Amino acid sequence: MRSERWFERLARASYSLVLVGLLPSIALRLLYRSLAQPAYRKAWSQRFLGRVPVRLLALGAGHAETSNSLGPRLWLHAVSVGETRAAAPLLRAWLARHPGARVMLTQTTPTGRQTAQTLFEDLLGSRVFLAYCPLDFPWAVHRFLSELRPDALVLMETELWPNLLAACRAHQVPVALVNARMSERALKRFRQFSWLAAPALGGLAAVLPQSQADAHRFQAAGAKRVLEASGSLKFDVQLDHHQIAVGQGWRSRWSHRQVWLAISTRDDEEEALLQAFAEQRPQGVLLIVVPRHPERFDRVDKMAAGYNLRRCRRSQLPDTLDQDMQLLLGDSLGEMQAFVAASDLCLIGGSLLPLGGQNPIEACAQGRPVFFGPHMFNFESLAQDLLDSGAGFRIASAQNFVREAYELGRSLPRLRSSGRAALDFVVARQGATQKTLDALDALMN
């Protein structure tokens, strides 16, 4: 046992030395990303030093008497937009169950932070507090925990950091990994670095996997406390009826027979999509493309210009669109549900190139059939279930998508049937929030 502990410390020390060596590169990367998103230049003391903003200190040791009387303190880390949206129903349910509780919600990306500000606008500064998560430097995570003193830490999906988990053990803060998922590819990486990953996974107080397959992979990777599969929190998506009304309003003023939406496209996979669309030029179709990262909006716009597509941007959207308009670039944040509401069917980004795909649930929740390419390995089980239910369609290439989407849109009975299947698919799988809530209460008790 002592030799195992010694080996774990040596492994983590080696990892920390490598991380410190990468510090200049990490800083330069943040500066580079700040050229497109200036918010990356902010809050470096939180990222690199683990300093907690003064207004958040009421959550921690600086006000121990007051904070103890208010109830439990939960730290939840949601990396970016998708994780933050998935966590929203869980956090609101947990706060409703514990009237005196507070949540410290951290993100890694500015877009995730902006999403949290929108979703929790009514609770910010009173029950929900926002900060950037410290990078996994030993001094940063220890300081963050020392100042906040949370009763538990909740991590979303796959966000596991060795120094953070070790610091939580030292501070006696139980850690739960919820909405947890692990692909076969990720399992291979965990096994490759088992000397570092296994101790981190073994220190988790609870793992709540999305599926039984995820549960088996976490156990194979070294997790010891894997609970029964709870399903995905993302199925409990909260529909924003205002956004949906906005999207429906757009559609009512457009003269196109079909509207297709490409969700969260990445890493220039738009090139193949725009080329296929320009070559086939389906009549009466408007293609909406929403890049996943805001810093790519201008790049995708220039890409579209090279294919001579008549286009406009959401930020300059006129009151009406005639059928000559072929492309709408979604260059706004927080309007995905409006774009879905304005569309007939959706293409899931990250699947045309080997990037692993993106989450299709938000589109299905509004009854939209989804298309995805051959690379959905981050959502492989979900993709297969969608295919089996008739709500999803796998395409081999962007050219296949344009042809098959056009044929589906021309058949109103088929379109409606696949849309109903998509909605039924989501409704049948809801309930993960309640299961996760009960597990968190058991953990904190």
Task: Report residue 239: phi and psi, to 5°.
Answer: -75, 135
Inter-CA distances, 79 with 74, 110, 184, 201, Å = 16, 10, 21, 18
Say which amino acid occupies 257. R
- Per-residue buried b or exposed e for 158-196, using 16+ beta carbons within 10 Å of the residue's own CB: eebbbbbbbbbeebebbbbbbbbbbbeebbeebeeeeeb
DSSP letter, residue 177: E
Q: Where are the alpha helices (DSSP H) in 193-310?
A: 194-202, 212-221, 241-252, 270-280, 297-305
**Catalytically annotated residues:** 83
Torsion angle (degrees, nearest 10) of CA 320, 322, 324, 327 = 40
Distance of alpha carbon 119 from alpha carbon 262, whole angstroms: 24
Q: Are 365 and 270 in contact (CB under 8 A)?
A: no
Half-sphere exposure of 328 (CA within 13 A, CB side): 30
CA angle 324, 325, 326 (to 5 degrees): 105
DSSP letter, residue 75: E
Q: Which residue has the tokens 């599969």?
A: 229
- Per-residue buried b or exposed e for 33-48, using 16+ beta carbons within 10 Å of the residue's own CB: beeebeebeebeebbb
Query: Computed over its alpha carbons, how large is the radius of gyration of the chain?
Result: 23
Task: Report residue 421: phi and psi, to 5°.
Answer: -65, -35
